[in-house]
Amino acid sequence: MLTVIAFIVALGVLIAIHEYGHYRVAVACGVKVLRFSIGIGKPLLRWKGRNSETEFVIAALPIGGYVRMLDERESDVPSEELHRAFNQQPLRKRAAIVIAGPLANLLLAVFLYSVVNWIGLQEPKAILSAPSSHSLAAQAGIEGGEWVHEIQLQPDAPRPVVSFETMRWSLTQAVLQKRDVTLTVSSQDGSEQRQLLLPLSNFSASEVDASMLAKIGITQPWTKPVIGEVMAGMPAHESGLKPGDIVLEVNGIHVKDGAQLRALIRAGGEQLWRIERMGHPLRLSLTPRMEDTREGQVGRVGAYIGDLPELVTVRKGLLEGVGAGLTKTWEISAMSLQMIGQMIIGDVSLKNLSGPLTIADYAGKSASMGWLQYLLFLALISVSLGVLNLLPLPMLDGGHLMYYLWEGVTGHPVNEAWMERLQRLGICVLLVMMSIAFFNDISRIWG
């Protein structure tokens, strides 16, 4: 139920903001707005404000919206109102009305990111977990437990790393931009500072997917290899493990963090553990129970593995928060366009396209984590909606802007016959994109 409510609220807010952008600029340009609709299909609610010419509607299907303006191409317009018809407006006004929707979504994202920056968010500290042995991180000399202070996307200047999430975002950008990265790290107490090179320029952009960070070897922050809740009847309980036990070794392998311990458990087989309990060393043996998963058979011991990561509060002042919100919105917009371009030329897998089922899933998950995480989710989807609508595809706002660009260059509008052909092409492209996204959704959730 939470997922459904969070999804509907997200769609309602984002659609309303988008359409309000069109509506507000249309009114400012002197265009008569006949209807402002959130949702499509049969109207559920409709009303007019005092002294308002516009009918406001909430419709049955919350999957879109529209602003219907006075326009000779749709119906007859009385001669005394011709000056208020959309199609009679100069090119600059029509373009402003069209671009206002996507810009409203981008401005909403800036505002939401700014609010989160002002309030502050607790994020994991940038301490690295032990990487897998064949990853780029392991080859660069990362062993686990390193605290990352700075990250440098070469040849730019180094940037301070305030949390694990900011570092992960920078790594994603580096892969898409094919740039090497230098990490300035130290031990957890801040001593023994050194620099490590990650050759991400050799990383294929086609590998940009959910497993990208796993291939790099930086997936999650460091956690203490401690045992949490133990389930009765499972190998952990039968071996004598208790909550609070700290795991030091498994089959002679020194355990550096919770992620490494989980990997050793998943490998299965008979294992000899050396642990510390209330300051005293102990040895015990156990054999993880093998279970079938989508990744194949993995070992389970029936215990919560790993402590919570160390957290830091990331908070910014008024102007700094707005600046960071602008930067984040710009970076996500640029990265989205870059990924779309690389999908078109085949450098990035189409598996990265997400549809309504994935969005709904993330809406519910973010809402369950708290309202600040939900605001971040709304900001991300708002950026995506703004960028998507600016694509030069017929049926989208960017397609209309493409028509206006042609009109501005040639001095006359696009031929009606050509516009009809382009509209059909745009519908086909959008249907293909939606089909791929829906297939990806099903594969992720039920595959």
Cα angle 221, 150, 316; round to 5: 80
| H runs (alpha helix) in 203-317 | 212-216, 235-239, 258-267
Cα angle 322, 323, 328; round to 5: 95
Task: Judge whether 19 counts as a catalytic residue.
Answer: yes
- All residues at 6 or more sequence positions from 162 whose CB lies less than 8 Å from its CB, including other chains: 123, 126, 312, 314
**Strand ranges (DSSP E) for 243-309?**
246-250, 253-254, 271-277, 280-286, 289-293, 296-300, 303-305
Contact (CB, 8 A) for 156 and 236 = no
Beta bridge partners of 196: 183
The CA radius of gyration of the chain, in Å to the nearest whole number, is 27
Structure tokens at 431: 């249907």
SS3 73: coil
Residue the block writes with tokens 């949490």: 228
Contact (CB, 8 A) for 267 and 295 = no
**Amino acid identity for residue 147 in this structure:** W
From the candidates 19, 143, 165, 420, which is the catalytic residue?
Answer: 19
Residue the block writes with tokens 């129970």: 289
Contact (CB, 8 A) for 200 and 136 = yes
* 87/84 Cα distance (integer angstroms): 9
SS3 152: strand
Structure tokens at 11: 């769609």
Structure tokens at 122: 């607790």
Catalytic residues: 19
